[in-house]
Structure 1
Amino acid sequence: MATARQQVERDEVERPFIAQLVSMGWTHVHGPDLAAERSYDDVFLTQRMDAALRRINRLAETGGQWVEDTQAAKAVTDLRRAAKNIAGRPLLTANRETTELLLHGRHVKGDEVHHRGTDQKVHYIDWDIESPNLLTRNDFLVVDQLQVNTAEGKPQILDLVLFVNGIPLAVVECKSPDVKDPIVKAIRDLRAYSGNPLTHDGRKDKDAPRAVPELFAPAQLLIAACGETAALGTISADEAHYAPWRSVTPDYRDDRALRRELEEARTADGRRVLEPGAELTEQHKLIAVVLRPENLLNIVRHYVFELPLKVKEGEPAKTVKAVCRHQQYRAVEKIVHKLRTGRTPLDAGAEDDERGGVIWHTQGSGKSLTMAFLARRLHMNPDPELNRFTLLVVTDRTQLQDQLSAAVRVSGSDIGVATSQADLEGRLERAGRDGGRSVIFAMIQKYLGSIPGLGDTRGDDRALAEDFERARKRIAAGADPEEVADPKPDEATKKAARREFRECSDSTRVLVLIDEAHRSHTSVLHACLRDALPNAARIGFTGTPIMTGTRKTTAEIFGLEPGGRFLDEYRMREAERDKVVVPIRYEGRTGPAYVRKKGELDEEFEDLIAPLDDKAKKRIRDRWAPPSGRDVSESTPMIRAKARDMLHHYVLGAMQFGYKAQVAAVSRRAAVLYRDALRDVRAELLNRVRNEFGPEAQEALRQKKSEEYTRDELLLLRSWHYQDLLRRIDFVPVISAGDEQKSGVWQEWTDKKKQEDHVERFLEPFPNLPPDNPWEVVHSPEVYPVPEEAPVPAGGLNPWSAPGPSVAVPAEKPPIAFLIVKSMLLTGFDAPIEQVLYMDRPIQDAELLQAVARVNRPFRGKEEGRVVDYYGVLNNLAVTLAAYQGEAPKLGASRLSDGLPALEEAAYLVELFLEGLGIEDLSSRARVSEAMLTLHDKEQRAAFDRLLRKFMGALDGALPHQDALRQVPNAQAWTLLQKRVRRHYRDAPGGAFSVRGYGRKVRALIADHLELPEINETIAPVSILTANFDEIVGRIPDVRESAAEQVQALRYHLEERAQRDDRPVYRKLSEELEEVLREFDGRWDKIKERVGPLIVRAREAEQPDSDVADLSPMEQKLYAQLGDRLTDHPSFVVPDTDFLRMLTREVYAEIIELARLPRYTGGDSDDNVSELQAHIWQRLRRAGLRPQQGGLTALRELSNSLAGFAQDHLEGFRTEGRAE
C-alpha cells in the first residue's frame, strides 16, 4: 500500500513521465509484470537482449540474420559479466567496461558460410540514429517499480528504469514536488542505489536505499525528477553536477512547438499528455529532448565520456563521467546541421562556404568540452560525409591550447599539436582525406609575429598606464573607440601574412574552429587559412561580445544567421541561472593613493619626499620628477599600502572558505614587488596577532556581540582563527621573460616549468580548514616562526625603490594562495578555486570582460566571485568599454551593496511570517521554546525553512558589507529557533540539525552562538534511549515544553521502531500515546504524568531477552513477534518460555523451507502471502498451539500476521537460510 507521499510521486511525477515517453515511441511495462521473463537478481532483460542481438546484426549482402544461440549467449554473458563483476573494484571501472562493449560491440565467431568462420563484431544497439527504422530495430522500454535484489538478496524497488534492447541505459528517481529539496533527495538516493553514496549523506544504513550497483554498471544517464523540474547526471555526479535541461532547440523551434506536440499527444486512456493551460515544465523539456529515442542514443554515444581529474604527482589517475549540458548539445547539433545542409564553395551557386557560424557562449560555460563533443559527434558518426572531417583548432595562447587539447583528447579522436609552421602544413596536407581524420591544434599567430603591423612588438613591458591614458585621449579627440581598442591590420599586413602560407588541402571535409573569434586579427587568420584551406568550413567561438565593427568582419568570415544572429548564444544570465558560472560582485577600493593627472602625480610625489631634507629633495627632483603613472604604480609605499589592504580583505573573506586570489599588477616589476609586500604585511599581521590578541583580548571579544565587532577586531579574530594557514601560504608572481633573463633575474617567476608547478600548486585545495567556530580551534606550534618585527623595506633616497631580497622559501613547498600577474593568466585561465581578482592595472574592453570572468568558475561551496578594483577601472565603464560604442555589454558583475535590498526583503518576509504566527520576540529561552511549540504544523515548519534558507543565502551574499552585519542578530535568533524546531519535531533523519547548507561566512558568525553551553544543556537528546534524556527533560522549567519534548521523543522512537520491526508492542504504545493526548488535550501536567510510564515501557521493549540469546537475529525477531501477538490476542493463553521457543523454531523452519524453493519468488502478491500463511497455519497446528476461543479464526489471524511479517523480512530469512 503506497503512502500518501508515494502516491503523489506516482500521480504527479512517474505517470506523467511515462505518458510522455510512450507518446514518443517508448513501450511501458509495470515492473511486477516482468516476473515471467526475468530474475530479480539479473539487471538485464536477457530475452529482449537476445532478440535484439539477432535483429540488429545482419548480413550486409542479404540483410538476413546470422547470430545463432552460441554467439548471442556469448555476447549476453560478456555484458553480464562486465556489469556483475562489481565486488572489489570501483563502479566507474565496471561502467567503463560495459560502456566499451555497448559502444563498440563484441567479437564472436562469425557465420561459417557468409563469414567463413572469421570473428565478427556483434553490436548490442543499432546506433544509426538517422534510420527511419530506429524504433523497430531497437527495443525502447520504460519499466516502473522495478525490483532488483541486492548482493545479499534483499529487494530494492527503482522508480523508473529505461531499457534499450534489455539493457538499462537510464535510471530515474522521482520525488514528490511537495517535499523539501526534492531534486537533492533524488540525487542522494540515486547515488545510494549505485553503491557510491555522497560523502555527506548522513543517513544510517537502515534509512538509506539499498545498493544495487550492478544496475548502474551499464547505466549511462541518471535523472532526478519531481514533476516541476528534472536534472541530468551520471553515476559519478554529485548535486552540483546535475543540471536541468532548459532549452528545446534545435529539436523544436521553441517551447510553443513542444507544448503543441504534448497537447496533441494522448495517453492510453485518451487523456492529453499536457492539458491546455497547464505549465510546460523543465521535466517536459528534458524528456522531450534527452529521452527521445534517437536523441538518447545520440547523447549516450557522443555526449557522455570520462574526464580526467587533476591529481597530485604520484597519485593514481582519477576520472569522472560527464554528460553534456543543454547549451553544449544545442550548439553541436546546430553545427552538425549546418555541415550537412550548408553549401560548400564547390557547390553550384555558392559564392563562399555557407556552413559556418559563430558560437557565443559566455566564459566559463564549457567551450572546450563543446569542442570535444563536436569532435566525437563527427568522428563517431556512421555517415562518411561527417566522420572524415579534419578539425583544425586555432588558438592564440599556449595555455589555452593546452587546456583545449586536453579536453578534446577525451573525445577519442586522434589529437595532434602543430609544433611549427612546417609541421602544421604537413598535417593539413592530409586533411579531409582518407586517414586524415583528426583534430589539429595550431597557434598560427605565432608564425606571423615577424610581420610588421601585426600584433604589439613591445611584449609584456608595455607601459599600461600610459597606453590607457593615450587611448582615452584619442577617443576624446574623436577617434573610433573600436579601432583604438583593437586596431585592425591593414591590407599590406594581410598580404604579407598570406605570403607566409601555401595551399595545403582543397578538401571540403575540413572544419576550422577559431577560438576567441572576437579579435580583430581574426581577419588575418582568415586570409591565411583561406589560402591554405580554400574550401574549409569555419566556426568561430567567443566568450565575449563582438564589437559593432568587428561584427561585420565576423559575418564576412563565418557567416551569420538570418536577422544577423549568431549560430548559438548562451549569455551570462543563462549561465548563472544554470549554475554553470557563479555571479560576480565587485568592490571599488580606489582613493587618493592612485592618481592620473599631472598635478595629482606631482602632489603625490611631493608627499612621498616630504620627510627628506631640502638637499635630498632637490637631488631626487632633478633625477625623478615628474614621476610617471607607472612610477607611482611601482612605488614601494604604494604597493605596500595596497598589499596590506588586499591581504586584510583576503583574510576577512576568501581565505576562510579555502579559496584563492589573483593580483593583476601594472607591470612585471610591480608583480614581483607585490610578492615581497604581501609577505611583509603577512608578517606584520601575524605579529599583531601574537602581541595584541592574547587570551585576555580573545575573552573580551568573545563577550561582545558579533555584530558589534569592529573591522580591526574581526581581522585579528580571523587571523588568529586561520593563523596556521596564514603562516604557510605563499604569494607567487607568474610573468613572461624579458631582457632581464640573460642575467637570471626573476627566473623563479619566468621559467616555464616553474610556472607550471606554481599554477598546479595554486589549483590545489588548501589543507584542512579549521572549524567554523573560531573558539573551537586548537592551534599547532608555528611551523615557520615569524620575526618579532616585520622587515622594513630598504628605500635609500629613491622613493620608488624596491625592498630588499625576500626571505627564503622553506624546503617544504607551501600552498600558493596568490598568483600575481601582469597579463599572463588574465584570459583563458580556468581556476575554479580562485574567488578574488585584485585589479591594480588599467584594463579595458574585451580584455576587461575576460579578466573579470576569471573568478566566475564554480567550485565547492563557492557562491560568488569577487573583483576588487584598485585602479578605478570599473568606476567608468563608458571609458573602459568605450570600444562597444553605446552598445556596451553588461559587465556581469554587481557591487557588494547591490545585495542589500534583497537581504532586507528576505528578512522582512521571515519577520512577517513569524508575526503571522504570533512570534515576535526570541530574546529569551522561554520565548524560543514558545515559538518552537507554535510551529507544530509540518507545513508551517517547511515554509519557515524555505524563507530562512532564502534569508541566509542573501546574508551570505551581502557579507562582509557593514550594513549586512545588522542582520546577524536575526540570523542567530532564527537559526537557533530552527535548531530547536528540527530537534524537537525530529523532521530530519535522526532528528539532526546542521548549518552545512548555509554559506561559510554566515556559519562563522552563528556557529559559536548555536553551540553555547546554556543552549545545548537545555536541548533534549533526540532519542529516549540516551542516558541523560530524563535528566535534561527534567531541567526544562516549562511543563508544556517538557511534556511536549517527551511526546515528540516517544512518538519518533515508536515510528522508527514500527518501520523496522512492526512489533505489536510499538503499535500498542502508539495507540496509548494518542489516547493520552486526546484525553488530556492541553493539560500538559497530566500528559507529562502519563507519558513518563509509556517511555519506561518503550525502553523495556528494547532490552535483550536472555531467554533467546542463543537464537539467530531473525529467530529473535520472530520470537518477539509471536510473544507480542499471543500476549495481545484474547483467544490465546500467554505461553511459557519453552513453548514459545519451540513455536518460534517451528515457524522459522517453515519460513526458511519455503523461502529456499526456486518457485517461491517473494513479492507482495496475494498468492505468495496465501501460500506462506497456509504453511505457517499448518505448522502452528502441528506444534500443538490451540486457541481457547475463536478456534480456527484466531489461528488464521495469527498465521496471517506472521506471514505478513515473514514477507516483509523475507530477505533476512533467506540470508540466514543460505548460511545454514
Structure 2
Amino acid sequence: MLRPAMLLDLLANFTAFATQKGKQRIKIIARYQQVDGVNKIVERVVAGQPRKGLIWHFQGSGKSLLMLFASRKLRLHPALKNPTVMVVGDRLDLDSQIAGTFYAADMANLVRAETRKHLAELLANDVRKVVITTIHRFGEAEGVLNDRDNVIVMVDEAHRTQEGDLGRKMRDALPNAFLFGLTGTPINRADRNTFYAFGAETDQNGYMSRYGLNDSIRDGATKELHFEPRLVDLHIDQKAIEEAYAEITKGLTDEDKDKVGRTAARMEILVKAPKRVSAICGDIAKHYKEKVAPSGFGAQVVTLDRESCLLYKEELDKHLPPETSDIVMSVYSGEEKYADYRRDRDAEEKLLDRFRDPKDPLKIIIVTSKLLTGFDAPILQTMYLDKPLRDHTLLQAICRTNRPYGEQKTHGLIVDYLGVFDDVAQALKFDEESVKKAVSNIAELAEMLPTAIQKCLEYFAGVDRTLTGYDGLIAAQDCLPSDDLRDSFASDFSILNRIWEALSPDPVLKPHETDYRWLAQVYESLKPSTGTGKLLWHSLGAKTIEMIHENVRVDTVRDDLDTLVLDAELLEAVLGSPDPEKKAKEISVKLTGRLRKHSHNPKYKALAERLEDLKKRHENGVLVSIEFLKKLLELAKDVVRLERETPVEEDLDRGKACPHRIVRGSQVR
C-alpha cells in the first residue's frame, strides 16, 4: 500500500469526503477489495477488451462505494476521452441508496434518470456524465440509443433481471458499451447464470474480482450470520408451504405477489392462522426484550404479505409499546386498508433514519418485500423471518443483519419460524465452503459450548478454581509460563467468547457460568498491557464483561499500587518477602491492569513496553525473582509519578479521541 504509485492512487482516486444526512462530515478510504475491483475495471476499459466482467463481492462489503470510486476514476481518466458512466440497479430502493452514496460524496456531473423518457433523452443527446438509473427504464427502448464505445455500465445486483428481456433491451440500446456486473449472490443455473451474463471467457472461474464471505468476516467488513430455528409448536407443514410457494412466486414480481389471493389461499390459511400469529408475536416480543433490546440493537420482522404486516403490528402492540415498531411497505392509491402506511420517499427515509438512531424508540421494522435488499442499517442485528424466501433473495435478505456496529455486535441473527435454514446452503451451493462459514446454527453452537469450555480449562489442570483474588490469578498464570502458551489459550478463549456471546442469555449457559467467569478473569489478567503479542487479543463481549462486573469480588480487582510505592516500610517488608516470586507476580498483574487503563495515552507507552520487557527477561531467566521484584517496584514508582503529573483533563481528552480503548480500560477495573 505504501509504494509511491499506490499511495498516490489512493489519495487521488480512493478517498472521498461524505456528508451523513446533511450533518456529520466524514472521510472514506477504500478497502483493498474495492481498490482491486476498481483498478481491474479501469484496466479493462483502457485496454479496450474484454468488454465485460463480473465482480463477486459478498453482501455488505461495500459495492456502492466501489462503484463511486470506479465512476470517479473512469470519468477523470485522460485515455477515455470524457466517457459516460452508467450505474444500473433493478429496484427503486437500491437506486435511492446508490444515488444517496454518490450525492453524499459530492460526485461531479451526476444525473439521475427518473423516467424511461428521461433516460432515452440523456443517451440520445450523448450526455457525458455519471447516470444513475434502473434496468426497468430500458423497458420501452427500441433499437440503439447510443453506440459510443466509451460508455461504461456497472450493473448492481447483477442476477435478477439481467438474464431476461430487460437485460437484452439494455444491451441492444448500448451495443458497444462495457458491461460490468457486481453481485454478492451470483446465480449458477442453466436458465439463469450470472457468470455467463457477465463473466469474460478469459476470467478464470468466471469472475474478475472475488471477495468472499470468509474474506469479509476475517477483515471485519461483515459479521457472521447465526440461525436460530424456532419451530417447536410453531412449525407448519413444510411440504404444503413449498407447494404454495411454488405457485405464489411463479413468474411474479414482489409487487404482484400481493395480487394473487386465490392462488395463495393455502399459504394464507397456514401462515396467518390467528393462533399462530399470536404465538409467534409473543415469542418475538419475548426474544426481543431478552436478547436484542439489552444491547441496543434493532430488529426486522419479515412477514408473508402486506396483510400479515398489519396482523403482526397489531399483535406486537399487545406486548410492546406501539412506538417500538412500525411498518414499511408499498401502498398504492385507493388502498384504504393500508393508507396509514403510505409514505413518499422522503417520509420513508426519515422513518428509516429514526430506526438507525440508537436514541429513538423505534426499534422494530415490519416488512414483507421492502428493505430486503439494499437496506443498510448497521444497528439491525436480528431478523425474525416468517416468509418463505429462496436462493439469492434469501441470502440478500438475511445479510441485512451482517453490518458491523460497534464492538458489541458479534454476529447477525436470523430467528427462523419457517424452517428456511436449509435453503441458505442451496442459495450458494456452488460455494459450499463459504456457506459453512456464513451460517452457523444456534443449536450447533450450544453443542460446541461444553467442548470449548473444557478445552480452555485443560490449560489449568490441578488449579484450585475456588481461590479468589490475586492468589487464584497467579496460580492460573503459573500454568502458562510462555508467550506461545498464553497466545494459544487466548485463541481458544476467543472462540469460546464468541460462542458465549452468541448464545447469551440462553439458559443452556447456566451450568457453565462459574467456569466461564473464572476463565474470563484469567484472560483479562493475562492480556498484554501494550496490546502486542503474536495474537491479536480481543476485548471481551459486552455480556461477558457485564457478568464479570456483577460477580467479581472487590478483592479480586483491588489495586494497592500507590500504597506499595508510598510506604517505605512496606517496601522493605516486600523485598524481604519469603516468597518474592509470588509477590512479583502479584505486582506484575496490578501493573498490567493499571497501565491498560491508560492505553489511550501515548505517555504511558514506554512504561508498558518496559513492563513487557521485564516479564520477558524474567521468563527467560535473565532476571532472578528478587531482581525482578525490585525492577517492578521501580516501574511502579514511575507509573504513579506519571499519573500525578498528568492532568485529569488530558487523560479524559485523549479518552474522547479513542472511546473504544476507554471501554477496554474500564473492563479491567
Shorter-chain-normalised TM-score: which range? 0.7 to 0.9
Which residue type is aligned with residue 849 of structure 1?
A: L
Question: Helix, strand or coil: the match of 1:921?
Answer: coil
Question: Helix, strand or coil: the match of 1:512?
Answer: strand
Corresponding residue of 1:573: 214
1:379 equivalent in alignment to 2:70: no
Which residue type is aligned with residue 550 of structure 2?
A: D
* Residues 922-955 of structure 1, C-alpha deviations (whole Å, 9 max, x = no match): 4555851651674795746666555544432342
Q: How many residues align?
A: 587
Question: Helix, strand or coil: the match of 2:319?
Answer: helix
Corresponding residue of 2:11: 300
Which residue type is aligned with residue 735 of structure 1?
A: M
Higher-Rg structure is: 1
Q: How much does 1:557 deviate?
A: 6.1
Cα contact 2:303–2:367 (8 A) shared by 1: yes
Percent sequence identity is: 25
Matches within 5 A, 1:594-609: 594-596=235-237
Cα contact 2:87–2:154 (8 A) shared by 1: yes
Q: How much does 1:559 deviate?
A: 3.8
* Partner Cα distance (1:580, 1:946) in 2: 21
Q: How much does 1:560 deviate?
A: 3.8
Select the residue among 392, 395, 417 that pairs with 1:870.
417
Select the residue among 324, 340, 347 that pairs with 1:747.
340
Cα contact 2:109–2:129 (8 A) shared by 1: yes
Q: How much does 1:390 deviate?
A: 0.4
1:886 to 1:589, Cα distance in 2 relative to 1, 3 A? same
Q: How much does 1:914 deviate?
A: 2.2
* Partner Cα distance (1:635, 1:752) in 2: 33
1:411 to 1:753, Cα distance in 2 relative to 1, 3 A? closer
Which residue type is aligned with residue 30 of structure 2?
A: C
1:732 equivalent in alignment to 2:271: no
Question: Helix, strand or coil: the match of 2:500?
Answer: helix
Matches within 5 A, 1:243-392: 290-310=1-21, 317-343=23-49, 354-383=50-79, 386-392=80-86
Q: How much does 1:737 deviate?
A: 0.5
Matches within 5 A, 1:714-733: 730-733=324-327
Cα contact 2:162–2:168 (8 A) shared by 1: no
Cα contact 2:390–2:423 (8 A) shared by 1: no
1:420 equivalent in alignment to 2:61: no
* Partner Cα distance (2:269, 2:345) in 1: 28
1:746 to 1:999, Cα distance in 2 relative to 1, 3 A? farther
1:555 equivalent in alignment to 2:157: no
1:570 to 1:1043, Cα distance in 2 relative to 1, 3 A? closer
Select the residue among 902, 907, 919 that pairs with 2:453.
907
Normalised by the length of structure 2, the TM-score is: 0.75
* Partner Cα distance (1:949, 1:886) in 2: 27
Corresponding residue of 2:511: 966
Q: How much does 1:545 deviate?
A: 2.2
Corresponding residue of 1:836: 382
Which residue type is aligned with residue 586 of structure 1?
A: F
Cα contact 1:544–1:849 (8 A) shared by 2: yes
Which residue type is aligned with residue 731 of structure 1?
A: S
Which residue type is aligned with residue 521 of structure 2?
A: L
* Partner Cα distance (2:74, 2:137) in 1: 28
Corresponding residue of 2:246: none
Corresponding residue of 2:249: none
Mark the runs of 5 or more structure 2 residues left unpaired by the alignment: 242-261, 532-536, 596-602, 607-613, 646-669
Question: Helix, strand or coil: the match of 2:463?
Answer: coil
Q: How much does 1:893 deviate?
A: 1.4
Q: How much does 1:867 deviate?
A: 0.7
Question: Helix, strand or coil: the match of 2:132?
Answer: strand
Question: Helix, strand or coil: the match of 2:363?
Answer: strand
* Partner Cα distance (1:632, 1:1000) in 2: 39
Question: Helix, strand or coil: the match of 2:562?
Answer: coil
Cα contact 2:459–2:479 (8 A) shared by 1: no
Corresponding residue of 2:169: 528
Cα contact 1:733–1:749 (8 A) shared by 2: no
1:561 to 1:308, Cα distance in 2 relative to 1, 3 A? farther
Q: How much does 1:1004 deviate?
A: 3.1
1:942 to 1:393, Cα distance in 2 relative to 1, 3 A? closer
* Partner Cα distance (1:974, 1:884) in 2: 39
Please say which of residues 365-374 and 510-519 is displaced more in the overlay. 510-519
1:443 equivalent in alignment to 2:134: yes
1:599 to 1:1050, Cα distance in 2 relative to 1, 3 A? closer
1:636 equivalent in alignment to 2:281: no
Cα contact 1:514–1:541 (8 A) shared by 2: yes
Select the residue among 382, 402, 406 that pairs with 1:856.
402
* Partner Cα distance (2:404, 2:51) in 1: 34
Cα contact 1:508–1:535 (8 A) shared by 2: yes
* Partner Cα distance (2:477, 2:417) in 1: 52
Cα contact 2:323–2:362 (8 A) shared by 1: yes
* Residues 64-98 of structure 1, C-alpha deviations (whole Å, 9 max, x = no match): xxxxxxxxxxxxxxxxxxxxxxxxxxxxxxxxxxx
* Partner Cα distance (1:976, 1:884) in 2: 42
* Partner Cα distance (1:657, 1:908) in 2: 28
1:571 to 1:977, Cα distance in 2 relative to 1, 3 A? closer
Higher relative contact order (CA 8 A, sep 6+): 2
* Partner Cα distance (2:396, 2:150) in 1: 32
Question: Helix, strand or coil: the match of 1:333?
Answer: helix
* Residues 645-694 of structure 1, C-alpha deviations (whole Å, 9 max, x = no match): 11221222222221111000111111122122222123xxxxxxxxxxxx
1:1024 equivalent in alignment to 2:563: yes
Corresponding residue of 1:394: 88
1:589 to 1:953, Cα distance in 2 relative to 1, 3 A? closer
Cα contact 2:378–2:405 (8 A) shared by 1: yes
Cα contact 2:111–2:131 (8 A) shared by 1: yes
Cα contact 1:357–1:561 (8 A) shared by 2: no
Which residue type is aligned with residue 500 of structure 2?
A: L
Cα contact 1:341–1:355 (8 A) shared by 2: no
1:926 to 1:361, Cα distance in 2 relative to 1, 3 A? closer
1:1008 equivalent in alignment to 2:547: no
1:888 to 1:636, Cα distance in 2 relative to 1, 3 A? farther
Q: How much does 1:758 deviate?
A: 1.5
Mark the runs of 5 or more structure 1 residues left unpaired by the alignment: 1-289, 312-316, 344-353, 449-496, 601-623, 683-726, 768-813, 990-994, 1063-1069, 1103-1112, 1114-1220
* Partner Cα distance (1:425, 1:1050) in 2: 71
Select the residue among 1002, 1026, 1044 that pairs with 2:583.
1044
Corresponding residue of 1:1215: none
Question: Helix, strand or coil: the match of 1:549?
Answer: coil
Question: Helix, strand or coil: the match of 1:890?
Answer: helix
1:1006 to 1:428, Cα distance in 2 relative to 1, 3 A? same
Corresponding residue of 1:759: 352
Cα contact 2:331–2:341 (8 A) shared by 1: no
1:933 to 1:514, Cα distance in 2 relative to 1, 3 A? closer
* Partner Cα distance (1:399, 1:927) in 2: 59
1:977 to 1:556, Cα distance in 2 relative to 1, 3 A? closer
* Residues 494-547 of structure 1, C-alpha deviations (whole Å, 9 max, x = no match): xxx5xx435332211111222222124543233322332222121122221213
* Partner Cα distance (2:291, 2:235) in 1: 24
Corresponding residue of 2:101: 407
Cα contact 2:149–2:178 (8 A) shared by 1: yes
Corresponding residue of 2:653: none
Q: How much does 1:356 deviate?
A: 1.0
1:1004 to 1:674, Cα distance in 2 relative to 1, 3 A? farther
Select the residue among 663, 666, 673 that pairs with 2:301.
663
Matches within 5 A, 1:69-80: none
Which residue type is aligned with residue 1024 of structure 1?
A: T
Question: Helix, strand or coil: the match of 2:349?
Answer: helix
* Residues 946-988 of structure 1, C-alpha deviations (whole Å, 9 max, x = no match): 5544432342234445444433212211233456677xxx946
* Partner Cα distance (1:945, 1:886) in 2: 31
1:644 to 1:428, Cα distance in 2 relative to 1, 3 A? same
* Partner Cα distance (1:402, 1:761) in 2: 17
